Amino acid sequence: MNLDIISIGDELLIGQTLNTNAFWISKELNKIGFTIRQQITIADTETAILTALETALSKSDVVIFTGGLGPTSDDLTMPALNKYFGGSLMRDDKVYQHIKKMITSRGFEMNRNNQNQALVPDNCRVIYNANGTAPGLWFEKEGKVVIAMPGVPYEMKAMVTDEVIPKLKEQFDLPEIINQMVYTQGMPESMLAERIFDWENNLPETIKLAYLPSPGRVKLCLSSTGTDRGKLQHNINVEIEKLAQLIPQYIYSADNEDIATVVGELLRKNKLTLATAESCTGGYIAHLITRIAGSSDYYKGSVIAYSNEVKINELSVNADDIDKYGAVSEQVVQQMAVGVKNKMNTDYAIAISGIAGPTGGTDQKPVGTVWIALATPKGTVAKKHVFGKQRDVNIERAAITALGVLRKELG
Amino acid sequence: MNLDIISIGDELLIGQTLNTNAFWISKELNKIGFTIRQQITIADTETAILTALETALSKSDVVIFTGGLGPTSDDLTMPALNKYFGGSLMRDDKVYQHIKKMITSRGFEMNRNNQNQALVPDNCRVIYNANGTAPGLWFEKEGKVVIAMPGVPYEMKAMVTDEVIPKLKEQFDLPEIINQMVYTQGMPESMLAERIFDWENNLPETIKLAYLPSPGRVKLCLSSTGTDRGKLQHNINVEIEKLAQLIPQYIYSADNEDIATVVGELLRKNKLTLATAESCTGGYIAHLITRIAGSSDYYKGSVIAYSNEVKINELSVNADDIDKYGAVSEQVVQQMAVGVKNKMNTDYAIAISGIAGPTGGTDQKPVGTVWIALATPKGTVAKKHVFGKQRDVNIERAAITALGVLRKELG
């Protein structure tokens, strides 16, 4: 069952807004059995909208639009779809009351824009938008479904979860699709491919493999489609078992989970606690850990020591060692780890100090130099890494690598 | 001059990987004068690649592919393009030496996959990949250009910046395009649209306006295309000046900058320093601040107090007050702000304590309840906010709102 996603908005085409909607919709709709044929992003014009709709309808069973449903003049999706499906606009009373409640609860009065948002085509079904004022639209034509939702991510997500997915499941007989991720760390993609060459060649035809490299990791994605979910999962598990024999030291998870989740589960399972002390990553590790619901069970907190003063006063780093070895050094990063572990009274602590760039590098310590320390109940270890020149990549790699060090220690 | 972006990879279509490449390329290529006609994401198959290429070439002058150029079996972009352009593969010696150097410097030996990566079509120009092993390809046909690059973001970005943009500028006579963002905070989109209705209607025809709502903000994008950059910018500035008269209290920046950058510049300009104390945002504010190069000039650090113990011991929050009022309360958030300000000896401090969700809410303090405090040289203020139900949105809104409070205080 094919599905096309059409994202509308000039802000996407000028690179002002990152298209997280197509990503999220693909994940959720693939999970329930749709094959996403393509994602396309087009401009806010009637011609572009109608051309994309016609192509999509000729190839796919379901077409999902996001964007261009707001209350302002640049929102053209509703008039374009209304024209295509030949309906007329009428006021939906339930939508009207909902908009009124939302606007007045924020201390504003209904205006013309708000009133217009309650006008919907009379030949579509309204998708309720609990978190916003723009209603969603559900059209049908010759057994195919066309859905339009606003582009604001949290509004759209609730609509997909609460209304779109249940209705699509009811309407279509969907296959089972499994995409199982295996996370690896420590080997470049080309080497990994060589090491698992025979395994890959002997994969059953029903299982498709993809290599997904990213800073510090290569993910392997095993995909399979069929009718019996248990059997699909079993076949994939058999292959992952073989893979785990081949490269045990490089695999860190065979589930659909990122490394912060894996580390979190290990800590929770063993009733252990963690604190962090971050310099160059500036809170990014803490963010990766705390964006997971329930992380307060094992994560106590962090000291982000962006200045040397904070390293000395809050983490008990020896000021003389900063002078002697520099803030980016084995001595300092070890003291940061021990300092935060003692202060927050945890079992483990991660500390990072490095030069994220783009400036601040020297011949001895070029941009990308990062010291990572792990304080454990048994002692403290530290290792130097030299990443690249780009600030954002260095922050990402340092954080992922540090979590990887903790995972190895725990796992 | 139109440009199409084609992203290749099943990982994008199953929602495993967020397509940051199309976003980034759009921004950079739009900046130098290309109109991005569309972004499309397709599967890793020869048919999908060739169909997308033909459509794109019929509508646009430049087509940029990313993805599918790696060393593994699922990388089909090069064979597909080689077939389309009818070349043969030959070994590029410069590419070969570069791959060899990269692989051996990581302590590995060249394998067959690496050697194959040095094979490129003989009818294309090679785009040098300083940060990876997969070379980029530059084909030309009837005055049109087709470019293929690997999908790993930091490899692709360096290639675009160092090679693609200079060559495209040389080859095409590009217009000037300006997309100027005006950031607003504090008014819903529909109200904003009403307030600026006359202004919008009286915009010159050469200026296009888009409304871009996101949690806590509405961005206005003013776009204009022409030949004289100075004149375009002047016309836009005139309109922004009028807008600033209309809604002075809601605009926080008329430049292409996010709020962490705006706050950072205000701090730097006034030689002021900042610390943060975060509970429910768990390091996200610190991350927004420290991902900006040079933020160490004004940002000293943070205490991420995820547990009450850390709030008490590190931020000198009164334990009795936590018992009496709860960790998410005016009293506690004020003490957190004052605590971190004193500890880190800064001019300003932001503190946040809230219930990000999905669990932890009560009738009195539902999920989404967030207290934000700002400690200043003149005293401390705190305000309660009630955001929504979604953890990630609550973290984002709380962080942006807190930075907004500081901006108002500084600006």
Contact A350, A299 (CB under 8 A): no
Flag whether residue B228 sits within 8 Å of chain A, measured between CB atoms: no
Q: Judge if A355 and A399 occupy the same domain.
A: yes
Q: Give the number of C-alpha atoms closer than 13 A to the C-alpha of residue A332, restricted to the C-beta side.
A: 27
Q: Judge if B126 and B55 occupy the same domain.
A: yes
- 3-state SS assignment for residue B17: coil
Boundary-marking domain end, from A253, A269, A301 = A253
- 3-state SS assignment for residue A228: coil
Tell me which residue range forms the domain holding A97.
2-171
Number of domains in chain B: 3
Tens digit of each residue's pLDDT (9 = 90 or more) over B346-357: 999 999 999 999
Residue of B24, B45, B66, B72 for testing the chain A interface, max A β-carbons within 10 Å: B72
Tens digit of each residue's pLDDT (9 = 90 or more) over A282-318: 999 999 999 999 999 999 999 999 899 999 999 999 9
Q: What is the pLDDT of residue B186?
A: 78
pLDDT band at residue B214, thresholds of 50, 70 and 90?
confident
Tens digit of each residue's pLDDT (9 = 90 or more) over B268-283: 999 999 999 999 999 9
Q: Judge if A214 and A296 occupy the same domain.
A: no
Flag whether residue B183 sits within 8 Å of chain A, measured between CB atoms: no
Q: What is the pLDDT of residue B254?
A: 65
In angstroms, the separation between the Cα of residue B179 and the nearest Cα of chain A is: 8
Tens digit of each residue's pLDDT (9 = 90 or more) over B97-122: 999 998 887 788 898 888 999 999 99
Flag whether residue A58 sits within 8 Å of chain B, measured between CB atoms: no
Which amino acid, one-letter code, is at B17?
T
Flag whether residue B243 sits within 8 Å of chain A, measured between CB atoms: no
Q: Judge if B149 and B85 occupy the same domain.
A: yes
B211 closest CB neighbour out of A74, A305, A359 = A74
CATH assignment of the domain containing B297: 3.90.950.20
Chain B residues inside the 8 Å CB shell of A343? 313-314
Q: Judge if B226 and B158 occupy the same domain.
A: no
| Between B12 and B188, residue with greater pLDDT | B12
Stretch A203-209: mean pLDDT = 94
Q: What is the helix, strand, coil percentage profile of chain B, to 5? A: 45, 25, 30
Q: What is the pLDDT of residue B127?
A: 97
Tens digit of each residue's pLDDT (9 = 90 or more) over B289-339: 999 999 999 999 999 998 999 999 999 999 999 999 999 999 999 999 999
Spatial distance between the Cα atoms of A347 and B155, rounded to a whole number of angstroms: 38
Q: Judge if A245 and A277 occupy the same domain.
A: no
Structure tokens at A402: 């540090």
In angstroms, the separation between the Cα of residue B193 and the nearest Cα of chain A is: 6
Q: What is the mean pLDDT of chain B?
A: 93
Q: Is the pLDDT of residue A256 over 60?
A: no
| ipTM, two decimals | 0.77
Q: Judge if B302 and B329 occupy the same domain.
A: yes
Structure tokens at A79: 């008039």
Q: CB A14 to CB B22 under 8 A?
A: no
Q: CB B291 to CB A395 under 8 A?
A: yes
Spatial distance between the Cα atoms of B346 and A182, rounded to a whole number of angstroms: 45
Q: CB B41 to CB A43 under 8 A?
A: no
Q: Is the pLDDT of residue A257 over 70?
A: no
CATH assignment of the domain containing A235: 3.30.70.2860
In angstroms, the separation between the Cα of residue A114 and the nearest Cα of chain B is: 6
Flag whether residue A301 sits within 8 Å of chain B, measured between CB atoms: yes
Cα–Cα distances in angstroms (integers) from residue B174 to residues B35, B168, B171, B313, B333, in the given order: 10, 9, 9, 60, 53
Flag whether residue A43 sits within 8 Å of chain B, measured between CB atoms: yes
Phi, psi (rounded to 5 degrees) for A204: -60, 150
Q: Judge if A22 and A144 occupy the same domain.
A: yes
Boundary-marking domain end, from B221, B253, B285 = B253
Stretch A132-158: mean pLDDT = 94
Q: Judge if A13 and A113 occupy the same domain.
A: yes
Taken in order A179, A182, A188, A194, the sign of the CA dihedral is negative
Lookup result for tokens 């393509």: A38
Contact B121, B82 (CB under 8 A): yes
Flag whether residue A24 sits within 8 Å of chain B, measured between CB atoms: yes
Stretch A126-133: mean pLDDT = 92
Stretch A31-40: mean pLDDT = 96
B24 closest CB neighbour out of A15, A112, A278 = A15
Which amino acid, one-letter code, is at A113?
N
Contact A317, A335 (CB under 8 A): yes
Q: What is the pLDDT of residue B327?
A: 95
Q: Judge if A19 and A150 occupy the same domain.
A: yes
A36 closest CB neighbour out of B14, B191, B343 = B14
Spatial distance between the Cα atoms of B270 and B151, rounded to a whole number of angstroms: 42
Q: Judge if B240 and B163 occupy the same domain.
A: no
Q: Judge if B87 and B215 occupy the same domain.
A: no
pLDDT band at residue B257, thresholds of 50, 70 and 90?
low
Per cent of chain A over pLDDT 90 is: 76
Give the least confident one: A117-121, A198-202, B34-38, B216-220: B216-220
pLDDT band at residue A333, thresholds of 50, 70 and 90?
very high
What's this model's pTM, rounded to 2 decimal places? 0.78
- C-alpha B19: how far from chain center: 12
Q: What is the pLDDT of residue B223?
A: 94
Boundary-marking domain end, from B136, B171, B206 = B171
Q: What is the pLDDT of residue A212?
A: 86
- 3-state SS assignment for residue A290: helix
The runs of H, that is alpha helices, within A93-228 are 93-105, 112-116, 153-159, 165-171, 189-195, 197-201
Contact B273, B298 (CB under 8 A): yes
Stretch A62-67: mean pLDDT = 97
Q: Is the peptide bond before A358 cis (omega within 30 degrees of 0)?
A: yes
Contact A361, A355 (CB under 8 A): yes
CATH assignment of the domain containing B71: 3.40.980.10
Which amino acid, one-letter code, is at B194?
E
Contact B36, B5 (CB under 8 A): yes
Contact B193, A113 (CB under 8 A): yes
Q: What is the pLDDT of residue B104?
A: 86
Find all residues with CB under 8 Å of B397, minimum gap 6, and list them.
B215, B216, B370, B385, B387, B388
